[in-house]
């Protein structure tokens, strides 16, 4: 099967981990920001990880360089626009681009200015095109950022239906347990903001259980559900989908090796699986590459590829009109 026909819906895509090197260099030059290299090839070691990456924390270091150029409204808007244009060229029809507004406030930009900058950039990239791009606002795991997280939730409520579709919780899961973020998701439920949660990536099944308890509509990654058969049964019975990102998960050592990745086991257990890229630049990946990888390594059939693409349409944080458009491509 030609996988490029089906790699058109990406539900788990981080803006700052998916910017082309050329975009990063262009913004840096325009804003007078010094980077560790001034060519795409030279910048690659600072923004890309290989399969020899040792952990999620090591993987996350790639974002430090990128965030330097995303601290103004102009730079962030340009980044979002060029990412959208890149996704369009790659053949995507729908993507949910996630980012954490609080990470873009180092030079005085407010969270709301960051949100409107990204929404503006993505909107411009969709003009005269079939692609539809939506935004998920990430709260962050970390110390002393409760106030910033709650502000993110309120902003998501304010811009819900205006480009924003949900919130998320991202960051160093092993260091900052999901259970510590009950207040953020209680507020999201109160305000009617849907949410997904990164869980079961760098921490075990208890993290996923807590995300389910909070009311997550989807689970980001969720690979360590394989360690708990009852949890797998719960996810299957409630049809709580997993946003799986195979290449990234192997890089961050969410699983020990390719043979231990639970894609086949999850499908056999009836879990609602979707396939996504996570960070296109950091992981040097595309949806086509992800689909080819799982078909080669886990005996994924053409029918199962179709199923996962239909799953993506079904669980997207999109309205019915957009979903109806998406069904044409799966």
Number of domains, the chain: 1
Q: State yes or no: is 85 an active-site residue.
A: no
Domain encompassing residue 81: 3-327
Please state, in angstroms and as integers, the Cα–Cα distance from residue 232 to each residue in 223, 225, 236, 304, following that order: 10, 6, 6, 19
Selecting among 85, 201, 243, 290, the annotated active-site residue is 201
Asked whether the whole model's pTM tops 0.85, one would answer yes
Q: What is the three-class DSSP state of 248? A: helix
183-197: pLDDT as tens digits: 999 999 999 999 999
Task: Give the pLDDT confidence score for residue 256 in this predicted structure.
Answer: 87
In which order are the strands placed within the sheet that holds 196-199?
196-199, 218-221, 242-244, 273-275
Pairing mode, strands 164-170 and 132-140: parallel
Report the alpha-carbon angle 308-98-267, nearest 5: 20
Q: Greatest CA span in the chain, whole angstroms?
A: 54
Q: Is 165 helix (H, G, I), strand (E, B) or coil?
A: strand
Domain CATH code at residue 77: 3.20.20.140
pLDDT tens-digit map of 65-119: 999 999 999 999 999 999 999 999 999 999 999 999 999 999 999 999 999 999 9
Contacts of residue 212, defined as CB under 8 A and 6 or more positions apart, other chains included, come to 219, 234, 235, 238, 240
Instruction: Give yes or no for a contact between 212 and 189, defined as CB atoms under 8 angstroms apart.
Output: no
268-310 pLDDT tens trace: 999 999 999 999 999 999 999 999 999 999 999 999 999 999 9
The pLDDT tens digits of the residues spanning 27-65 come to 999 999 999 999 999 999 999 998 888 887 888 889 999
Q: What is the mean pLDDT of the chain?
A: 95
């Amino acid at each position: 099967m030609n996988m490029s026909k089906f790699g058109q819906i990406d539900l788990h895509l981080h803006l700052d981990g998916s910017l082309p090197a050329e975009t990063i260099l262009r913004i840096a030059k325009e804003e007078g920001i010094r980077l560790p290299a001034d060519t795409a090839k030279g910048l690659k070691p600072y923004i890309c990880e290989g399969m020899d990456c040792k952990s999620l924390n090591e993987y996350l270091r790639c974002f430090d360089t990128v965030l330097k150029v995303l601290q103004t409204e102009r730079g962030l808007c340009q980044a979002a626009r060029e990412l959208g244009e890149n996704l369009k060229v790659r053949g995507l029809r729908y993507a949910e681009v996630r980012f954490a507004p609080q990470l873009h406030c180092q030079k005085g930009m407010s969270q709301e200015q960051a949100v409107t900058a990204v929404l503006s950039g993505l909107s411009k990239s969709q003009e005269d095109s079939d692609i539809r791009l939506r935004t998920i606002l990430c709260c962050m795991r970390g110390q002393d950022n409760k106030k910033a997280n709650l502000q993110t939730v309120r902003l998501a409520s304010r811009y819900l239906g205006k480009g924003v579709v949900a919130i998320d919780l991202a960051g160093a899961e092993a260091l900052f347990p999901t259970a510590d973020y009950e207040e953020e998701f209680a507020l999201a439920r109160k305000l009617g903001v849907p949410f997904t949660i990164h869980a079961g990536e760098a921490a075990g099944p208890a993290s996923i259980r807590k995300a389910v308890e909070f009311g997550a509509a989807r689970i980001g990654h969720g690979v360590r559900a394989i360690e708990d058969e009852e949890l797998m049964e719960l996810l299957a019975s409630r049809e709580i989908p997993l946003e799986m990102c195979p290449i990234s998960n192997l890089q961050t050592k969410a699983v020990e090796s390719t043979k231990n990745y639970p894609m086949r086991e999850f499908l056999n257990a009836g879990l609602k699986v979707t396939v996504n890229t996570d960070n296109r630049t950091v992981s040097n990946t595309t949806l086509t590459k992800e689909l080819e990888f799982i078909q080669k390594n886990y005996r994924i059939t053409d029918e199962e590829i179709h199923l996962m693409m239909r799953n993506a349409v079904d669980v997207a944080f999109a309205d019915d009109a957009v979903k109806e458009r998406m069904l044409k491509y799966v």
